[in-house]
Amino acid sequence: MGIIVISAYKPKEGKAEPLKELMRTHLPRLHNEGLVTDRQSIMMEAADGTIIEVFEWLSREAVEKAHTNPNVLQMWAEYGEVCDYVPIGTVSEAAQLFSSFKPFA
């Protein structure tokens, strides 16, 4: 059984475009490592530029494998250069009954 997660990536100052470029490679890279399902991710952008992604890990074991996979660790280092991971609850739209975001472009 897969595990659906919601992740939030807040771009560092001046790094919004590099983050968006990296986001376009996120799921394909995880898929190439056999760590996510074939389900397409949903990506959206908050008013403050935070990118929200909903995607599905293959399993708990896949999540654990990701933490020792050199390709995933490299990708996460790339993310660390352009964004901070933030809890979805810190994104102001998440406090709304019906949260709305801009489509990811």
With a pLDDT cut of 70, the percent of the chain lying above it is 100
Distance, CA of 49 to CA of 59 (rounded, Å)? 30
Q: For every residue of 9-66, which 3-state class applies, written as one string?
A: EEECCCCHHHHHHHHHHHHHHHHHCCCECCCCCEEEECCCCCEEEEEEECCHHHHHHH
Say how far apart CA 43 and CA 103 lie, in whole Å: 7
Instruction: Please report the pLDDT score of residue 24 as a whole number.
Output: 97
Contact 76, 57 (CB under 8 A): no
For the chain, give every domain's residue range. 3-89
- The model's pLDDT over 45-91, given as tens digits with 9 standing for 90+, comes to 999 999 999 999 999 999 999 999 999 999 999 999 999 999 999 99
Q: Per-residue pLDDT tens for 5-26?
A: 999 999 999 999 999 999 999 9
State yes or no: pLDDT of 105 exceeds 90.
no
Question: Does the domain spanning 3-89 belong to CATH 3.30.70.100?
Answer: yes
